[in-house]
Amino acid sequence: MSYVEVPGAQVPIRMWADPASVEDVAMQQLRNVSTLPWIKGLAVMPDVHFGKGATVGSVIAMHGAVCPAAVGVDIGCGMSAVKTSLTANDLPGDLSRLRSKIEQAIPVGRGMHEDTVDPGRLHGFPTSGWDDFWSRFDGIAEAVKFRQERATKQMGTLGSGNHFIEFCLDEAGSVWLMLHSGSRNIGKELADFHIGQAQKLPHNQGLVDRDLAVFVADTPQMAAYRNDLFWAQEYAKYNRSIMMGLFQDVVRKEFKKARVTFEPVISCHHNYVAEERYDGMDLLVTRKGAIRAGSGEFGIIPGSMGTGSYIVKGLGNAKSFNSASHGAGRRMSRNAAKRKFSTQDLEDQTRGVECRKDSGVVDEIPAAYKPIEQVIDQQRDLVEVVAKLKQVVCVKG
């Protein structure tokens, strides 16, 4: 499908979803965002759903302003994937050992490494810029500097919620490694701090939603936020890179006889801000639950823990601000999923996948998400499919 424009908005809201299928509260959030004086346009992805301040699955283009709550608290959250030389024929019948080895190598939930990971020991890890990145920690908000030790030990860890590590097969039988994570606790601490700062500013009083508080250009508050925001986005990217390095090390050891090789890693943020130019104007583009899909750019659009995911290539559609969806998108809240589904339902819906099947992950059950095939079909003018993946191992936080 192509987009439809949402009526009653103060700037164009282009939606790659059926408006009738979007929750009323999410539609109201979109209209609320459109009232901000700095807004130049919104693009709404097929996986859109209600979020804090701004809808998940929305792309917000503003001139001279940025809304920290619209970025979200997991700054730089995103995906990484890599194709390997392994095939389905290389896999053992029982994949439980592989899942166990991944969980031993990469802490999940609130866990962290006992010692900071040395990236120099990871095969092929791009260490250029690593020391400079950490030296910039001294320049972030004083309110979170006490978290430095935690931040260093959480570098290369998964987190919880919908974050995951997967061992997948494409339709040709090739093995892919894939993971989803962000800036861990340090990103959340920075986001919470700056959201609070924005809400105190005089120009944000009287907004229709206090979570839409913004920083504006050429102010010390904006400069401080941009510094911390871009640092946290870089943290998230490094975090995924280290996890992928650890994941590859596990695979090399477990499949030593196969002498596994890896293609270049595909990586994309889906909760972040970028400086981009449209119609001759420099804009700050916030993608909250959306990936960049510029012409020829690779991206990753995952489904749920029992359905599968897609590797895509962007078509460079400027109407969407060169964006596409970040996943299937939830169709019910975590609490609603826990009320509706049992561990037996989870077992049924993840049959054939080596993963947790206990009450702690019922809120991530596939039926809590929109059908990924439908989401892909609704954005055929935004991306083209390169590969369809199906997980055989899924590690959840």
Task: State the catalytic residues.
Answer: 326
Report yes or no: 123 and 245 within 8 Å, Cβ to Cβ: yes
Report yes or no: 312 and 295 within 8 Å, Cβ to Cβ: no
Pairing of the two strands 174-181 and 215-216: unpaired
Pairing of the two strands 281-288 and 56-62: antiparallel
Report yes or no: 311 and 386 within 8 Å, Cβ to Cβ: yes
Report yes or no: 95 and 354 within 8 Å, Cβ to Cβ: yes
